[in-house]
Amino acid sequence: MSELIAQAERLLESAKGSEEVELFLARGVDTEVQAYQGEVEELTTASSSGIGVRILRDNAAGAQIGTAWAGSLDDQAIENAIKEARENARFATQDEFIAFARPDGVTASALTLTDESVASTPLDEKIAMAIELERLVRSGDRRIRQVDAANYSDYIAEAAIVSTMGIRAAYARTGAYVSVEAIATDGSDDQTGWGLSAGRAPRDLDLAQAAADAIRRSTRMLGAVKPASFKCSAVFDPRTAATLFAIIGGALSGEAVVRGRSFFANRVGEVVAAPSFTLVDDPTDARHFSASPYDGEGLACRRNVMIERGELRGFVYDTVSARRAGTVSTGSAVRGGVAGSPSAGCRALQLSPGDIDQAEIFRRVGNGVFVESLIGVHSGVNSVSGDFSVGVTGLMIRDGQLAEPLREITVASTLQRMLLDVIHVGNDVEWLPGSAAGQTVAIANIAVSGS
Amino acid sequence: MNAELVGPDVLQRVLTEAMARGGEFAEVFAEDRTTSSAMLDQRRVEELSSGRDRGAGIRVVVGDTTGFAHTADLSESGLLGAARAAAAVARGGGGGVHEVALGAIAAHPSRALVAPGDVDKARKIELMRHADDVARSEGSSITQVSVALGDSTRRFVVANSEGVYASDHQVRTRFNVTCIATGDVGMQTGYRPIAGTRGFELLTPDAVGEAALGAARQALTKLDARPAPSGDLPVVLAGGSGGILFHEACGHGLEADAILKQASVYAGKVGEQVASPLVTLVDDGTVDGEWGYLAVDDEGRPGARNVLIENGVLTDYMWDYLRSRKEGRASSGNGRRQSYQHLPMVRMTNTYLMGGESDADEIIAQTPYGVYVAQLGGGQVNTATGDFVFGMTAAFMIEDGHITAPLRDCNLIGNGPDVLKRVDAIASDFSMTPGTCGKNGQSVPVGCGQATMRLTGITIGGASA
């Protein structure tokens, strides 16, 4: 890791005159195995690296930023990227709010996000896990007719962010996943179900649970029917709830707010959600797979309370969106790899757990829909207007119990309304890949569209 | 930019190395991609970005197993290292010497008239400002305009142990306008893309202005939108973006990887009537200038026009090298990959429904009650069940044969094999639209096309009872 910092520090010396330079260096090693019919179908081993460069020119009327990136850490590629970024900066509009992050005195949390066993586990063992996962699903239920993808993957990733403003941040992370898709049949109807397990290392993975998940989700959908349209309460399982939280997190971005693209704008201090709803973004909680000591600008990540007992408390900011809003960064810059520039975003959302389990939520809801998977989230959610309409598969809840499976339906409401309509929050927190943990939540007044 | 990425002698030696452990097939794909993007948001030029990514992906196939490795190091030693890593799946070792000899390269020069790198950045910004001005000229209710311009120049060379040796030089340009209108009851969005496998000539002031106007008007219209209905209704889809329906309802299900794994509802259905007799569906990589155009696919196979459904009868699937090899047939030119860091798989190019003979206005006039979808957003499908969704981003009620109230965004949901049979009218006003197709974590540019058409019913996922 210190190697990356050292390389970056050397590169900073190329800064010219009064310009400021920020460099984001990343490298990683990935392994992916896909098993099919007891054999390795695909085996990928790869290492990759890259650099993101941002150059800031400060003028009387404001600053300009130009960016460039390269999928390599060799000197020639980096030199070219620096030159390109410098050239690009000339064309940006001078803007008084544009700035790079400055060290703000907040100490980064000491987090253990790596496990050396990702590197030390022999490839054959990783291959065996993918093959075993497929076998567990195929042999777990006679209704499973196909396993079209059983995958093992892991990564070792390192990154460093340094700047002429005094930023020096470096961190590493490892991760391992297995995932499997099962196709079940009852002779006339086919249904699919996903199972997954995630951790920091191969030994964290629970193959049996991933297999059981895929089997349960696919087989219990068999014979699914398309109901007539109706209105009811919907119970989202932890996975689909995590997707919901991540969408809400998008509207809590200070950047969306200062750009006037969030339905939360100008509502701090107001009640925006049900009293049971407390949502916190905390990348310093190492239980999140997305936990990180530093944000995308090299500031320490910190715990930010977004919504507390239904009241909107604030937004997450990076340096520029904070300046536009007249505040300071919350250490919440996120960036999508070396090609992406920092922007404000939630990284590790968690809803405060309730005190009842999923079965109790079914009992209290009585009649409704249990949502187990979502389809068309990117096409069905408008985070500016808040319109929400997503395809789902799941099951009816009748008299407090799961009943017949449902297919080819959508659930619809608006995000604003759904937050206020949260009626139950489960205690079954599931730590998932992505920017949010999940737990079962029940939401009232959902329109279900069917035939 | 015109130098060879990797010369034929090096390619031959790398392929030979890749085959040395008993591989049955080996391929080198070397790529050099330059991209640039610019964003104008609220009249501020926020960021110009440039990127460069180059490297090679090498795969080795033994039996049903594919080994894959990629490297950013295009030197001979870097490529030989990747070849050995990919060949490690050939566990039998040995295998003897398989000398690979390449003949003449099938080279495809860029078809762009104006290369992105030759365009002054100030000129790009001027065009974005023009779009901003045009959008704002629609009135003060347009409170936000953002404009994005991007281009990519992708050169690659691909060679394999069976002697395929080809290169392509693809230039793509895109321009998106997003407007937000603010009214009494909230904000609404409007969006228009322009995109093509073309150079900067694609972006004339007129084309850009038209996109800006379209995005602004769409946002303004939606200010009065009411919640979409809920339930099964007749739907008229406007030409162009309506093609996403077929991309999701059957396109993905006709990709041979899903077929060979029996993970598609269309497996085993060649020769059967799977759609209304009005439906003739084509996937065509040769539509010059369209977003999904390619001279050769990412396995070196020439792009082709493939009829998938003819008069409602399923005629063929789409194929890449690996899947066609298993079936002992030829690839259909549908082997595509996001970059050298990804394995190719079966992907669509430009997928379109052939136009019909009806008149678009008459189709609407003959629909007593239903929904008119003027623009579709993205979609998603589960190929194993056939259930799919797509989002409508501009839609209206049809009442007594007339387009009436605008509707808020929502998804539509249906089952592919069922919906294909519900096509009961197709007009002649064919057009195409660009999109980005995601599959197994890889994104590739695709085109979708169709003329105005009607479905007798599909489920509208609105919030109103």
Q: B220-236 pLDDT, tens per residue?
A: 999 999 999 999 999 99
Residue B206 pLDDT level (bands cut at 50, 70, 90): very high
Closest residue by Cα to residue B243 from B391, B429, B449: B449
Residue B53 pLDDT level (bands cut at 50, 70, 90): very high
Strand spans (E) along A71-189: 144-163, 168-185
Shared-domain flag, residues B273 and B378: yes
Shared-domain flag, residues B396 and B304: yes
Shared-domain flag, residues B194 and B296: no
Chain B residues touching residue A48 (CB < 8 angstroms): 70, 72, 341
Q: What is the pLDDT of residue A15?
A: 80
- Pick the residue from chain A with its C-alpha nearest to B32: A71
Q: State how many domains chain B has.
A: 2
The CA distance from B120 to B38, in Å, is: 12
Mean pLDDT computed over every residue of chain B = 94
Whether B52 has its CB under 8 Å from any CB of chain A: the answer is yes
Shared-domain flag, residues B168 and B290: no
Domain boundary among B198, B222, B246: B222
Chain B residues touching residue A40 (CB < 8 angstroms): 65, 89
Shared-domain flag, residues B177 and B193: yes
The CA distance from B336 to B158, in Å, is: 12
Chain B residues touching residue A95 (CB < 8 angstroms): 44
Shared-domain flag, residues B448 and B347: yes
CA distances from B27 to A43, A47, B100, B337, B340 (A): 15, 19, 11, 13, 12
The model's pLDDT over B78-104, given as tens digits with 9 standing for 90+, comes to: 999 999 999 988 766 555 667 888 989
Shared-domain flag, residues B202 and B252: no
For the record, the structure tokens of B219 come out as: 């946002």
- Tell me whether residue B146 is in a domain: yes
Q: What is the pLDDT of residue B57?
A: 97
Residue type, A4: L
Residue A378 pLDDT level (bands cut at 50, 70, 90): confident
- Tell me whether residue B3 is in a domain: no
| pLDDT higher than 90, residue A298 | yes
Closest residue by Cα to residue A370 from A432, A446, A275, A278: A446
Per cent of chain A over pLDDT 90 is 89
Report the DSSP beta bridge partners of residue A51: A25, A70
Flag whether the ipTM exceeds 0.85. yes
The CA distance from B219 to B210, in Å, is: 14
Mutate which: B119, B230, B323, vs A, most A CBs within 10 A: B230
Shared-domain flag, residues B214 and B343: no
- Pick the residue from chain A with its C-alpha nearest to B66: A42
Residue type, B67: G
Chain A residues touching residue B343 (CB < 8 angstroms): 42, 44
Q: Domain residues for B261?
A: 230-461
Question: Which residue among B48, B51, B187 sits closest to A92, beta carbon to beta carbon?
Answer: B48
Closest residue by Cα to residue A392 from A372, A378, A412: A372
For the record, the structure tokens of B384 come out as: 């194993």
Question: Does the distance separating the beta carbons of A69 and B50 come in below 8 Å?
Answer: yes
* Pairing relationship of beta strands B25-41 and B106-108 according to DSSP bridges: unpaired
The model's pLDDT over A184-198, given as tens digits with 9 standing for 90+, comes to: 999 999 999 999 999
The model's pLDDT over B210-224, given as tens digits with 9 standing for 90+, comes to: 999 999 999 999 999
The model's pLDDT over B56-81, given as tens digits with 9 standing for 90+, comes to: 999 999 999 999 999 999 999 999 99
H or E, element range at B58? strand B44-62
Chain A residues touching residue B232 (CB < 8 angstroms): 450-451
Other CB atoms within a 10 A radius of the CB of residue A13 amount to: 8
Contacts with A, B 325-344, CB within 8 Å: 341, 343
Question: Does the distance separating the beta carbons of A387 and B64 come in below 8 Å?
Answer: no
Shared-domain flag, residues B319 and B176: no
Q: How many residues does chain A have?
A: 451
CA distances from B310 to A158, B245, B264, B307 (A): 52, 17, 19, 7
Question: Which residue among B50, B382, B385 sits closest to A84, beta carbon to beta carbon?
Answer: B50
Closest residue by Cα to residue A411 from A362, A369, A358, A361: A369
Question: Does the distance separating the beta carbons of A447 and B380 come in below 8 Å?
Answer: no
Q: Give the closest-approach CA distance of B63 to chain A in angstroms.
A: 9
Q: What is the pLDDT of residue A247?
A: 96
Q: What is the pLDDT of residue B84?
A: 94
Q: Which residues contact B305 (CB under 8 A, 6 or more apart)?
A: B282, B283, B284, B285, B286
| pLDDT higher than 80, residue B1 | no
Q: For every residue of B250-290, which 3-state class applies, written as one string? A: HHHHHEHHHHHCCCCCCCCCCCCECCCCCCCEEEECCCCCC
- Tell me whether residue B150 is in a domain: yes
Question: Does the distance separating the beta carbons of B66 and A389 come in below 8 Å?
Answer: no
Question: Does the distance separating the beta carbons of A450 and B50 come in below 8 Å?
Answer: no
Whether B44 has its CB under 8 Å from any CB of chain A: the answer is yes
Mean pLDDT computed over every residue of chain A = 95
Chain A residues touching residue B180 (CB < 8 angstroms): 260-261, 384
Question: Which residue among B43, B69, B409 sits closest to A387, beta carbon to beta carbon?
Answer: B409
- Tell me whether residue B18 is in a domain: yes
Q: Which residues contact B105 (CB under 8 A, 6 or more apart)?
A: B8, B157, B165, B166, B167
- Tell me whether residue B2 is in a domain: no
Residue A3 pLDDT level (bands cut at 50, 70, 90): confident
Shared-domain flag, residues B351 and B410: yes
Whether B377 has its CB under 8 Å from any CB of chain A: the answer is yes
Task: Report phi then psi at A12, rounded to 5.
Answer: -60, -25
Domain boundary among B222, B242, B262: B222
The CA distance from A85 to A24, in Å, is: 13
Q: At what angle do helices B76-87 and B8-19 cross, to 10 degrees?
A: 20
Shared-domain flag, residues B210 and B261: no
Shared-domain flag, residues B211 and B245: no
The CA distance from A239 to A430, in Å, is: 8
Is residue A391 within 8 Å of A399, Cβ to Cβ? no
Is residue B83 within 8 Å of B58, Cβ to Cβ? yes
CA distances from B199 to B110, B111, B116, B172 (A): 9, 8, 6, 6
Closest residue by Cα to residue A435 from A264, A304, A276, A329: A304
The model's pLDDT over A88-121, given as tens digits with 9 standing for 90+, comes to: 999 999 999 999 999 999 999 999 999 999 999 9
Residue type, B253: G
First to last CA, chain A: 57
- Tell me whether residue B309 is in a domain: yes
Domain boundary among B222, B257, B285: B222
Mutate which: A34, A44, A95, vs B, most B CBs within 10 A: A44
Q: Give the closest-approach CA distance of B428 to chain A in angstroms.
A: 27
**Which CATH number belongs to the domain containing residue B184 in this structure?**
3.30.2290.10
| pLDDT higher than 60, residue B2 | no
Strand spans (E) along B320-419: 335-336, 345-346, 350-353, 369-381, 387-399, 402-407, 410-415
Chain B residues touching residue A384 (CB < 8 angstroms): 180, 187-189
H or E, element range at A409? strand A401-414
Q: What is the pLDDT of residue B435?
A: 92
The CA angle A412-B445-A373, to the nearest 5 degrees, is 30
Whether B107 has its CB under 8 Å from any CB of chain A: the answer is no
Question: Does the distance separating the beta carbons of B189 and A389 come in below 8 Å?
Answer: no
| pLDDT higher than 50, residue A271 | yes
Chain A residues touching residue B258 (CB < 8 angstroms): 148
Question: Which residue among B52, B387, B463 sits closest to A77, beta carbon to beta carbon?
Answer: B52
| pLDDT higher than 50, residue B448 | yes
Other CB atoms within a 10 A radius of the CB of residue A311 amount to: 17
Query: Domains in chain A and their CATH numbers?
Result: 2-219 (3.30.2290.10), 224-451 (no CATH)
- Tell me whether residue B352 is in a domain: yes
How many interface pairs between A and B have CB atoms less than 8 angstroms apart? Answer: 254
The model's pLDDT over A52-81, given as tens digits with 9 standing for 90+, comes to: 999 999 888 899 999 999 999 988 899 999
Residue A287 pLDDT level (bands cut at 50, 70, 90): very high
DSSP state of A93: P
What totals of helices (H) and strands (E) does chain B contain, helices first?
A: 9, 22
Q: Which residues contact B318 (CB under 8 A, 6 or more apart)?
A: B254, B255, B256, B283, B306, B308, B332, B334, B346, B347, B348
Q: Which residues contact B321 (CB under 8 A, 6 or more apart)?
A: B25, B27, B160, B299, B301, B331, B335, B344
- Tell me whether residue B96 is in a domain: yes
Lowest mean pLDDT among A49-53, A203-207, B123-127, B459-463: B459-463
